Amino acid sequence: MSQSWINALEDMALRRAGLSLTGLDRKQIEARLSPLARREGYDNAEALSRAALARPEERLAYEVVEALAPGKTRFFGQGFRTFRETILPDLVRRSENRPVRIWSAGCATGQEAYSLAMLAAADGVFAAPGRCEIIATDYSESAIDRAQSGRFSRMEVQTGLPVRMLVQHFEQDGEMWRARTHLRRSVDFRTLNLMAELEPLGEFDCIVLRGVVARMPADIAAKTLSRVAARLQPGGWLMLGEGERTPQTFGRLDEAGAPGLYQALDRVPA
């Protein structure tokens, strides 16, 4: 695959999903696109990309960008101790007057969203139906389909998931493990492009956006962060990856004492 085609692919990924291919070399790009090329009947990744670039608004272009996007998370990754010790007690206080809402943005195959749901369920306040709403979104339809199925390999459940929670919330399904019905029903998975209109989602008490904006160019990342933060309730929490930072345009978001953790003291302008 020539550099000119890689540049054209990156331009398409930026326009459609704000996705930068920086850090991916030619072999990695070909590895991500080759399975799709075979499925669609193309000889190789470059032939596939030529077809997608010729019809950038059609289904194939969407699937090419989807294949280029990272699509995995892990159970209880970095930041979940902060969620349990700092954010969750505040959400419990908020739930005295109304249900709380949590958004896992860029949820990939669902491990992060299910981790949030398991921690919320561990507190008796959120055991009652309707007390906690968790919405999980991702650009990738295939990732959302897999997340909704709740099926994970043995290696995936062994990566970060405590045995106690595995037994409580999952059941063996052949060679796989599947989230039990109560856990699958606790998360509302949706396909969503973060560059689309976000207002219909409503407002949230906590938004988890980890490892997403790091893959965007700085200007697109700043706009995306500002638009996401505008979905926070006053006093709401934003969790970013530890290496990610908020731009000055955030205004009323304050650092909250842990890497990547911010709190909105007031409503954040879009």
Are residues 139 and 107 part of one domain?
yes
Range of the domain at 18: 3-68
Are residues 231 and 139 part of one domain?
yes
Are residues 61 and 100 part of one domain?
no
Are residues 244 and 121 part of one domain?
yes
pLDDT tens-digit profile, the chain (270 residues): 678 878 888 888 888 888 888 778 888 888 888 888 898 899 988 888 888 888 877 788 888 887 887 666 789 987 898 999 999 999 988 888 889 999 999 999 999 999 999 999 887 767 677 789 999 999 989 899 999 999 999 989 988 899 999 999 999 999 999 999 999 999 999 999 999 999 999 999 999 998 888 888 888 888 888 899 999 999 999 999 876 765 554 556 888 878 889 998 777 766
Residue 269 lies in a domain: no
Residue 74 lies in a domain: no
Residue 201 lies in a domain: yes
Are residues 117 and 249 part of one domain?
yes
Residue 75 lies in a domain: no
Specify the CATH number for the domain of residue 15. 1.10.155
Among 20, 46, 68, where does a domain finish? 68
Q: In angstroms, rounded to a whole number, what is the distance separating the alpha carbons of residues 252 and 201?
A: 21
How many CB atoms within 10 Å of residue 3?
8
C-beta of residue 104 within 8 angstroms of C-beta of residue 118 = no
The answer to whether the pTM exceeds 0.85 is: no
